[in-house]
């Protein structure tokens, strides 16, 4: 059987009891290592905790080497460990579909992910709209498809969770062109970069999806002992030092329940500025 096992958000001990039992009894254990990272653990600490080998599965192996991962899964248990919850990325759905094509049984052990733990910032999960990903801009590539999804959410008064880019085991265009297996250092988008890119696209589109005064919540190292929240305007976020990764950003909708504002106001960088921004944003998007 193929098992997808969620690891949670931070520590080796965030795995569920059932997930740990599955790992200990499996023939092979892979760790999907490019859509996210465990903030307080690495492969060696996982191996020490599990008492067994963990095979790192990079992007190439997960997306192109599914046959290698699934080899023998018809008679033995194979595990793919996933940071957060197994269905937090479409890659894992693809692997499940491939297993089904090969008539391999599958099972999933769920865990906490940013998609539900984001509620810790103070806004209610049922008030979120579409989640969007924000990628690093390059000199020649500055995609803005996320803008329309944020606009749809904002028109409905819903919050938007932005998942910020992670670059792990990426190659430069030159190295790819020359066929050289040389990888760039890992990069993790911070809140400041995300805010700058958002403001750049608003300046380009000029559709007032959001403004420099739009209220937001920055989320850093969610689920870890050093997790941190900050509530401020988008312009203030462009000056905010969010520290070590990982980071996410919430653009607030204009239908803020007072229980939400009462809760997230404790994270305010400037309480009076934030209160004014909430009032003005409500007027702009009515």
Which parts are annotated binding residues for S-adenosyl-L-methionine? Answer: 9, 85, 88, 113-114, 164, 222, 247
Provide the angle, in degrees to the nearest 10, between the axes of the packed helices 145-155 and 191-205.
90
Q: Report d(CA 197, CA 189) in Å as an integer.
A: 11
Structure tokens at 279: 């009032």
Element of type H or E holding 101: helix 90-101
Q: Report d(CA 264, CA 110) in Å as an integer.
A: 28
Torsion sign, CA atoms 82, 145, 214, 187: positive
Provide the angle, in degrees to the nearest 10, between the axes of the packed helices 43-50 and 17-25.
90
Say if CB 34 and CB 64 are below 8 A apart: no
119 closest CA partner among 264, 285, 269: 264
DSSP conformational letter for 213: T
146 closest CA partner among 129, 170, 127: 129
Binding residues, as ranges, are: 9, 85, 88, 113-114, 164, 222, 247
Structure tokens at 22: 């599955």
């Amino acid at each position: 059987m193929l098992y997808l096992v969620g690891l949670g958000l931070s520590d080796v001990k965030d795995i569920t009891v059932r997930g740990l039992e599955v790992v200990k009894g499996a023939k092979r254990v892979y760790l999907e290592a490019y859509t996210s990272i465990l903030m307080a653990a690495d492969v060696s600490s996982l191996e020490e905790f599990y008492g067994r080998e963990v095979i790192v599965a990079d992007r190439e192996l997960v997306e192109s080497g599914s046959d290698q991962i699934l080899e023998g899964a018809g008679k033995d248990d194979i595990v793919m460990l996933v940071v957060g919850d197994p269905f937090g990325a479409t890659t894992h759905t693809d692997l499940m579909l491939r297993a089904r094509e090969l008539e391999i049984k599958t099972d999933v052990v769920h865990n906490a992910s940013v998609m539900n733990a984001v509620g810790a910032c103070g806004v209610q999960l049922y008030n979120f709209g579409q989640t969007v990903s924000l990628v690093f801009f390059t000199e020649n590539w500055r995609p803005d498809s996320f803008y329309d999804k944020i606009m749809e959410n904002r028109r409905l008064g819903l919050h938007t969770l932005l998942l910020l880019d992670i670059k792990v085991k990426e190659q430069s265009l030159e190295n790819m062109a020359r066929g050289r297996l040389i990888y760039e250092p890992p990069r993790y988008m911070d809140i400041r970069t995300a805010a700058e890119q958002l403001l750049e696209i608003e300046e380009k589109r000029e559709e007032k999806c959001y403004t420099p005064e739009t209220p937001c919540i920055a989320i850093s190292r969610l689920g870890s002992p050093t997790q941190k929240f900050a509530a401020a305007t988008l312009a203030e976020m462009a000056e905010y030092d969010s520290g070590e990764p990982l980071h996410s950003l919430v653009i607030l909708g204009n239908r803020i329940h007072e229980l939400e504002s009462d809760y997230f106001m404790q994270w305010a960088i400037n309480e009076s500025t934030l209160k004014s921004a909430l009032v003005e944003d409500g007027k702009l998007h009515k």
